[in-house]
A and B are shown apart, each in its own frame.
Chain A
Amino acid sequence: MATDETQRTEAFPSGIVSVGLSEVKRQIPSDEPPPLPPNAELAVIGKPTARQNGRAKVTGAIRFTVDISLPNMLHGGILRSPLPHAAVAAIDVVAAALVPGVRAILPIATPDAILRYVGAPVAAVAADSPAAAEEALRLIRVDYKPLPFVADLDVARNPASPPVHDSASAPAGDAHGFPAPAGLPLHGNVRGPATVTRGVISQGLAEADIVVEGEYRTAVQTHCCLEPHAIVADWRTDGLTVYMSTQFTAGVRHELAAAFDLPLSRVRVIVDGMGGGFGSKSSLGNYGRFAVALSRQAQAPVRLVLDREEEQMDAGNRPGTWQQLRVGAKRDGTLTAISVLSYGTAGVAVGAGVGSFAEALYACPNFESAQYDVFINAGPGCAMRGPGNVQGAFALEQAIDELAGRLSIDPLALRDRIDPSPVRREERRIGADRIGWHRRRASGADAGPVKRGLGVAQSLWGANVQINASCEVRVMRDGSVEVLSSVQDIGTGIGTVLAQVVAEVLGLRPEAITVRIGDTEFPAGPPSYGSRTTASITPPARTAAWRVLQALCREAAPVLNAAPEQLAARDGKIVVLGDPGRGMKFADAAARLRTDWISAVASRSDDYGGFRRRIGDAAIALQDLGGVQFAEVAVDTETGIIRVERVVAVQDCGRPMNPRQIESQVQGGVLMGISFALFEERIIDQNSGRMVNPNLEQYKLLGARETPEIEVAVLENYQGQSATDAYGIAEPSNIATAPAIANAVYNAIGVRLRTTPMTPAAVLAALGKIPARS
């Protein structure tokens, strides 16, 4: 590309720090800052930094959406289908409307509507008190005409099973939330296949010296956010304000404007504290629309908070899967064929594939995958932390482990041969050292009933970027600084990272930066899904801070008798480069401003080396994110209990911005992975079609006593792609955990568990210890 006035060439640090850095030349927009040096040369970025709102969180001072209380606020509630499949014959709200305090009733399922799962919304009400709302819901009379239903993946694959959808009602969408490939056929309850083919699979299998085959299953996992789905909708004649626990304030604003025919300028979305989303709070959701409609009807603010049962039944989930894998290899480990057949179910909606994991992780000339979505009468799935790849990794990484065993090649050595990624190669080296991989013994080497084992598995995830992410930085006349964006902190601590970025540029401490985020009054930030927040918002934050610093330096230059480009900001001062004695306090420079504040707004530019793919406002970076995790387990072969004793997680996210928060996120990913591997399962009673564990008592989540020692190591991997060169960590840290545990269990007991959750019942069955029933 020819350089013009809008571009300039810069040399960026490139490579993995622990392996060795080189330089890469990039054309960058001329109004963006110079390359950011490696973390070792920086004052704030890359240094462990305390979460800004940490104290407010642990003291309860932070305001979550459920804490919002407005004058005259009403309380909303939703009546839900008790049946898995039914037609609404009649609905009568007369008695409900007479309950004192009821202010709005919203019909949702009109007569003749088909309800397709237990928990499907039927009607909503708003009342002066939660008790009045509950009473009104109880008094809504619905005449349901039950229809045949199917609530099991295997049963629904049978063409004779009761149809969940007709072709008109079958929703589009894949496991990543993107539209499903157009034109996929729907036969009975089975849609697909979505296929990918590379090379010739039959030839690859024929060339193989060894073929491993296996069937794997993963259970439905629900998001279980600590904070439930919550909204307070305030409809007024001059506009709509919505307080919502959301992963995407700017997106919800667009959805609201479209759904209620309002100009964007009349819609405001706000979120302060947030207790997690994991993909389930990516959009407005049906409950969000109901709350706003109720507020419009009642002309009063309406608070609507889902309870735990509603969370479990109608707030999304990770689809369950059945997968059949065939992997062929030469004696030396060289892969010749990978074949994936999958059937997954996300209930009544959204795709349920197993991702692109098997397609992209290893070099293999012959590949095929056929992925089918199966509809059942159960609550809809939605994206959940590493959608598709978490399920896909559980199968593929066990198949590779099995292959290594059959070939008598160490699992790490096999991956050195078949995995082209230099990032994961380094991660394997670091992780093997930390976990003590040399201690790994043959299966069943322990004499007693408790067997120990070590396992490893790898991760692959695309590095996502939102290209319309924007950020503003203001310097006030008193020297104080604000950073503003609608980006939301869903619990990851992005506000703290923004403060670090701005502080680094302005030569200040991060505590001195006031962070204003989570409000669409500010420049539109990115969504916090697809692990894209840091990658999307930190480059414009740095660019905006850099531009505002340039303006400040223009004010300071005459006083310091220097040209503006000779000035730099460090240690709370504006100094003259090469003349450390000459300088002035940052605040003194700010005091010279003509206006009360100066401001700069910047948006995310394209990655300097380009993107692999663009889909609307989203883009995928050229280089994927890696990750390698090691697990050490102890399996009690007499009780079937698996204890994960230790996990070493080696991850990469480009430039690590705040190691303390990254460590915290990786720990969260590992814990969620352990919980997925050992405990979590949506259990549906097949006779009634209802989830029998829609709570946190019988839906089992890992707790403090199941938490192992977790050691996190993070590579510094520079690629010269943006003003910060930072990417995400949330999803990559959740992908390798479950297969690493399964492989460790195999190493411990010599029996492979191919189904989640790996319960004591499953372990005892795999060991042949359950007597046959008479």
Chain B
Amino acid sequence: MNRFAWVNARTIEEASAAVSATVADAMTELAGNAAAGDTAVLKAGGVDVLDLLKEGLLAPARIVSLRGIPGLDAVVEEAGGGLRIGSMATLSRLADHPVVRRRYPALSEAVRASASPQIRNVATLGGNLLQRPRCWYFRAHEYHCLRKGGGHCFAIAGENQYHAIFDNRPCAIVHPSTAATALVALGATVELADAQGAVRQVLLEDFFGPPDRDLQRENDLKPREVLTAIRLPALPAGTHMAHLKQGEKDSFDWPLADVAVVLELSPDGSCRKAALVLGTAAPVPHRAKQAEGLLAGKHIGEDLAREAGRAALEGATPLAKNAYKLPLFETLVRRAILKAALG
């Protein structure tokens, strides 16, 4: 780990003015042997930044802490019925937040299934969404991989049991955030502020970007932007949802597969609209649009759910060691749909 200076930002503007690069940019510079020079990065809970520092993948001159900014962890119900979650709200707080539990249970389930209690107590939702992938080649400084600006993905012909089954070329990472699976299904937007005080709102689904958009970045965060909030839309009556995660272990493990389903059911019980997202399947949370289309206008039942499970995996391109994810995802999609629709 390198020696670095610590900056306590007191306002979003201060943070934005102090930061010079996203963590992804800072890592690419370092991997490219550019002088770390004057790089300053943001830190929320610090869980991922500390991992990267220890592995020698990140060596900033300054770390700008967001923890001292008042109100950045506020969770506020909005006038239109939505919910605005400050980016510094911890995962443990969200898991237990009464409004989240009542109105957005898929999010509280996803968050509760993440990491360990100790980590959830410090990890923030903003940091969780912006964390770098967990690919073991990406995480070891010995491998100068595509995502770090190198010329080769070591996973595709290597140990790829935990890697992507969709969109896995040329880089086979999976997006690491379990919360993101639920948030994309819920149609969440992120709020991003820059040093000039300008704020942009982006649909989370569009904020994330696949490798063919940008190989070194999982999202569209700009160098001096601060992710300030995650906004959940108001949900129409008849909305039902579920999130299911399956790890090899339940204690402190990443998912092998996770699935979020949000269904809008008509009074007659038929499905008006469906959002179905697979996490840990692709470099970004993966919308299963074909399966969503299949559900629309129909009554949810065992057979339809099974059919949707199969449809959700259409087009998958598993690697040598991860084809087991296909039956696993099919099961989780079916179970999540039935859990959402029938409780």
Q: Which residues of A contact B (CB under 8 A)?
A: 82, 131, 134, 638-641, 678-679, 683, 685-688, 690, 692-693, 697-698, 700, 702-706, 759-761, 764-765, 769-771, 773
Contacts and interface: CB of A to CB of B under 8 A. Distances in A.
Contacts of B318: 773
Given A638-B327, A685-B154, A769-B327, 16 more contacts: A638-B331, A639-B332, A641-B246, A685-B159, A692-B136, A692-B140, A697-B254, A698-B136, A700-B248, A702-B251, A703-B249, A704-B251, A705-B249, A706-B250, A760-B256, A761-B322
A770 B324 CA distance: 5
A685 B158 contact: yes
B3 interface: yes
Nearest to A772: B323
A403 B312 CA distance: 43
Interface in B114-166: 134, 136-137, 140, 142-143, 154, 157-159, 161-162
Contacts of B248: 678-679, 700, 759-760
Contacts, number: 84
A693 B136 contact: yes
B252 A703 contact: yes
A374 B253 CA distance: 33
Interface of B: 1, 3, 134, 136-137, 140, 142-143, 154, 157-159, 161-162, 246, 248-254, 256, 318, 320-324, 326-328, 331-332
A703 B250 CA distance: 8
11 contacts: A638-B331, A639-B246, A640-B328, A678-B248, A685-B159, A688-B142, A690-B142, A692-B137, A706-B249, A770-B327, A773-B320
A686 B331 CA distance: 32
Contacts of A687: 154, 157-158
A487 B180 CA distance: 53
Contacts of A134: 1
Contacts of A702: 249, 251
Contacts of B253: 700, 703
Contacts of B1: 131, 134
A700 B247 CA distance: 11
Which 8 pairs from chain A and chain B are nearest by CB? A703-B251, A761-B324, A705-B250, A638-B331, A692-B136, A705-B251, A769-B327, A764-B324
A770 B142 contact: no
B143 A683 contact: no
Contacts of B140: 690, 692
Contact of B158 (A686, A769, A771): A686
Contacts of A765: 324
Contacts of A703: 249-253
A659 B267 CA distance: 62
Contacts of B254: 697
Given A640-B328, A685-B154, A761 B249 contact: no
Given A685-B158, A687-B154, A688-B154, A764 B249 contact: no
A702 B159 CA distance: 22
A764 B134 CA distance: 24
A760 to B, nearest CB: 6
A690 B136 CA distance: 11
A683 B324 contact: no
Contacts of A769: 327
B54 to A, nearest CB: 9
A692 B136 CA distance: 6
Contacts of A771: 323, 326-327
A82 B158 CA distance: 18
B178 to A, nearest CB: 15
A696 to B, nearest CB: 9
Contacts of B321: 761
A770 B249 contact: no
Nearest to B54: A307
B341 to A, nearest CB: 18
Contacts of B246: 639, 641, 760
Contacts of B154: 685, 687-688
B138 to A, nearest CB: 11
Contacts of A704: 251
Nearest to B328: A639
Contacts of A764: 324, 327-328
B44 to A, nearest CB: 20
A326 B116 CA distance: 45
A700 B249 contact: yes
Contacts of A640: 324, 327-328
Contacts of A683: 159
Q: Taking each of B136, B246, B252, which has the highest tally of chain A beta carbons within 10 Å of its own beta carbon?
A: B136
B2 to A, nearest CB: 9
A706 B327 CA distance: 23
A699 to B, nearest CB: 10
Nearest to A643: B250
A705 B254 CA distance: 14
A698 B176 CA distance: 13
Contacts of A131: 1, 3
Contacts of B134: 697-698
B142 to A, nearest CB: 6
Contacts of B158: 685-687, 692
A765 B328 CA distance: 11
A638 B328 CA distance: 7
Nearest to A698: B136
Contacts of A705: 249-251
Contacts of A82: 142
A148 B167 CA distance: 34
A683 to B, nearest CB: 5
A90 B324 CA distance: 46
B103 to A, nearest CB: 27
B322 to A, nearest CB: 8
A679 B1 CA distance: 31
A58 B200 CA distance: 50
A771 B326 CA distance: 8
Contact of A692 (B159, B250, B252, B256): B159
A683 B328 CA distance: 22
A229 B198 CA distance: 52
Contacts of A638: 327, 331
Nearest to A636: B331
Nearest to B327: A769
A765 B161 CA distance: 13
A703 B249 CA distance: 8
B331 to A, nearest CB: 4
A705 B326 CA distance: 25
A365 B62 CA distance: 73
A359 B89 CA distance: 60
B157 A773 contact: no
A129 to B, nearest CB: 11
A773 B159 contact: no
A280 to B, nearest CB: 23
A761 B323 CA distance: 8
Contact of A773 (B136, B143, B323): B323
A769 B324 CA distance: 8
B155 to A, nearest CB: 9
Nearest to B332: A639
Contacts of B162: 698
Given A685-B154, A688-B142, A688-B143, A639 B249 contact: no
A156 B338 CA distance: 49
A638 B157 CA distance: 28
Contacts of A688: 142-143, 154
Contacts of A697: 134, 254
Nearest to B326: A771
Nearest to A769: B327
Given A683-B159, A685-B159, A770 B326 contact: yes
A355 B156 CA distance: 38
B7 to A, nearest CB: 20
A759 B3 CA distance: 41
A7 to B, nearest CB: 56
Contacts of A686: 158
Given A688-B143, A706-B249, A639 B159 contact: no
